[in-house]
Amino acid sequence: MAEDFHIDQADLQQKFNAYLTNPIDLPYREFYRNLQGTQRRFAAVYIPPSSCVLKPIRSGVYRDENGKQHTAFMVNSVLIRRGTQSTAATKEEIAWIHRRAEREGYRLGVLSGQPDQVQETVYSNLFEVIKAPEIIWTASLRATREGQPPQQGNTPYRAVYVLWNDRMVTFDDISTPQSPLWEMIEPSSVQGEQLAAWLADEDRQRVVIWLLNKELRFLAGRLGLLHEPRRQKFYYSCDGEYRTETWSPRFRASSTLKVAQRIWAQQLGRPIFWHLAVVAPFTRIGDRLFLKLIPTIQLTNNGRKAVFGPREGTVITRLTYNRYNSSYLNQILFWISRLADAKQSIELAQGKILVSAKPVESPISVGILFDRPTAEPVQEIPEIEIVEAES
């Protein structure tokens, strides 16, 4: 490059972006390099990756040194580099450029930490209790002979209760003989109190959460789910080599999900079953009640009975080490769909309590432009070092 040659970067930037609706930064630098013992002057233009397909808003027309007019590109044309030439891209190449631009936009958003000004919705793993009874009922248990616990009466439904301070606590109306719990209690001891007052008291609030958790365990049992005895965790049994469940995810009419499988666990030196599982406790945030879903994995020896231990824990760690956000959200939606039985809400306590099947969400005004959710993970359990157990 001649010593007297110079281009102003601002001028170059202005002229380049005059052809675009989506301006980009165009760094330009002039510098010296030693080339075979001689200092030579160079100019470099850096064309950064774009997060969109660039199309000129007007044709690139210029005149050569002889005054002849040439058209370098046409308005709205998409060019692609082939060897040393830039030529018009085909339909397939334009689609490829578009996909590459989306990936680049995502990469730049993640690496730079600079979010795009786009509307984004953040989904949580919380599901709000949208209906609850105003009254919670308590009563003393009826005395029985020979110390046998009292039993529920023969009614069309089973009521759920917990025992606290030697009293039964339930959402079922035990003030009438129609309650299945009527034969278990001393009728004269029945008290109905405001649920709001119980939630305002720290000790009694824990009893309400305990009762809600038991209601969910009762529902899960009716839906055919097994309960891990140490925690509020649920999973499907597996009587064969694997088990699948069909459900309706976000982007498909239906999908088949593998929820359990028999594998060979290298760490244990024996076959074992993994099961997609969910920890589902109720919690109170502020003055509102929520069901919290935490997808996880349960191990069993025979497809049913849960097993625990440090070595089993290493198997679970390896099974879950690369679960991505899209997979995690899909598992949350799978479990809420199961618990709600594909309805708009989970029904507990004979419909007295409703839990929304829609996760709590927060709209925000920033995000990553091309961070779009996957249609559906191919397999919820990631690749791990296992081999299929032989029959």
Q: In terms of pLDDT, which residue wins out, 333 or 103?
A: 333
- 8 A C-beta contact, residue 326 and residue 374: yes
Phi-psi domain of 13 (left: phi exceeds 0; alpha: psi -120 through 50; beta: other): alpha
At residue 95, φ and ψ (nearest 5 deg) are -65, -40
What mean pLDDT is predicted for residues 368-377? 46
- Rounded CA-CA distance 95/77 in Å is 14
Q: Is the pLDDT of residue 277 over 70?
A: yes
What mean pLDDT is predicted for residues 35-46? 85
Question: How do residues 238-262 score in pLDDT, each as one tens digit?
Answer: 999 999 999 987 667 788 889 999 9
Q: In terms of pLDDT, which residue wins out, 316 or 216?
A: 216
Could you state, in order of their start, the residue ranges of all structural domains in the chain?
9-116, 126-388
Give me the chain's average pLDDT, please. Answer: 82
pLDDT of residue 107: 63
Percent of the chain, pLDDT > 70?
81
What mean pLDDT is predicted for residues 50-62? 81
Q: Is the pLDDT of residue 132 over 80?
A: yes
pLDDT of residue 158: 86
Q: Is the pLDDT of residue 368 over 90?
A: no
pLDDT of residue 96: 78
- 8 A C-beta contact, residue 79 and residue 67: no
Element (H, E) at 300: strand 294-300
Question: How do residues 177-222 score in pLDDT, each as one tens digit?
Answer: 999 999 899 999 999 999 999 999 999 999 999 999 999 999 999 9
Question: How do residues 86-127 score in pLDDT, each as one tens digit?
Answer: 788 888 888 877 777 766 666 665 555 555 555 667 789 999
Model pTM? 0.64
- For the record, the structure tokens of 317 come out as 């760690």
Q: Is the dihedral of CA 159, 163, 165, 167 positive or negative?
A: positive
Distances (CA, A) of 46 to 25, 26, 28, 30: 9, 6, 6, 12
Question: How do residues 283-313 score in pLDDT, each as one tens digit?
Answer: 999 889 999 999 988 999 999 988 877 766 6
- Rounded CA-CA distance 210/32 in Å is 75
